[in-house]
Amino acid sequence: MVCGAGKCTGTVEGQKEAYAATYTLSGDSMIAASPPLPSPSGKGGKVIDSWVAHFSGTNVMGTGEEKLASKPDSVVMRYRWSGTRTQ
């Protein structure tokens, strides 16, 4: 996932095509969401990936969840992640 200028570009594991997500920055945090994407499980259906990130220096840590696009109140998966940002 690479983010800048209000958009993120990333790939789903096991798929070659990239997708674009949008995000909003507020203070030391970022809130982001993807468009409906093919399910990484390969079982059909689409999911929406949303996440929240917090920045500290060049480090970024976040939590996210995937929901079924057809049932936005469902949660398919929750996860934590970390990374670095360039300035």
Q: What's the pLDDT score for residue 1?
A: 74
Give 17-72 pLDDT, tens digit per residue: 778 888 888 988 999 998 998 877 667 788 899 999 999 998 999 999 999 999 98
Structural domains of the chain, count = 1
pTM of the model: 0.76
Residue 13: which region, alpha, beta or left (left: phi > 0; alpha: psi -120 to 50)? beta
**Pairing label, strands 29-33, 77-84:** unpaired
Domain that holds residue 68: 2-84
Long-range contacts of 55-58 (CB under 8 A, 24+ apart): 55/28, 55/29, 55/30, 55/85, 56/28, 58/84, 58/85, 58/86, 58/87
What is the signed CA dihedral for 53, 11, 44, 35, rounded to 10 degrees? 60
- Give pLDDT tens digits for 76-85: 889 999 988 7
